[in-house]
Amino acid sequence: MLAGILSVARRNNPLMGITGALICRHDLYLQLIEGPADAIDALYARICEDDRHANVELLLSEDMGERLFPNWAMLDDTAPSLFWSAEDVAAGALEAASPADLRAPFIRLSAANPGG
């Protein structure tokens, strides 16, 4: 399923000026989407309608300045970048996280992919 999502993302995102990263774990997708605001809004609306996941939540929306993943249509990561356990997530850790907490796994992932 992840391969299917990534393959569509990597086909579509460059056409929309979108880059980003998708951290995937059995209980969770955590995705950073970067690009023009209107393109992000359109993509987010599509993702919300996708029944391959449930309980989509917008955790943070902000002007970013420089992109973290300028050369990745959608980088994937199978969770080593995450520090919340499944139990933390179930107990609401993501909703309670600060903007800096939410940025942190993506900053680590970007640093681990130089030139990303």
Binding site for ligand FMN (CB under 6 A): 5, 8-9, 12-13, 22, 29, 31, 43, 46-47, 50, 52-53, 74
Report the residue number, 47 or 102, with the smaller CB distance to ligand FMN.
Answer: 47
- On the 0-12 / 13-18 / 19+ scale of CB atoms within 10 A, 75 is buried
Report the residue number, 27 or 50, with the smaller CB distance to ligand FMN.
Answer: 50
Judging by DSSP bridges, how do beta strands 19-25 and 75-77 pair with one another? parallel
For residue 2, the minimal CB distance to ligand FMN (Å) is 8
Phi, psi for residue 79 in degrees, rounded to 5: 85, -10
Report the residue number, 73 or 93, with the smaller CB distance to ligand FMN.
Answer: 73
For residue 39, the minimal CB distance to ligand FMN (Å) is 10
- Cα separation values, 44 from 40, 81, 87, 102, Å: 6, 22, 26, 18
For residue 18, the minimal CB distance to ligand FMN (Å) is 6
Per the structure block, which two tokens stand in for 68? 């973290």
Report the residue number, 8 or 86, with the smaller CB distance to ligand FMN.
Answer: 8
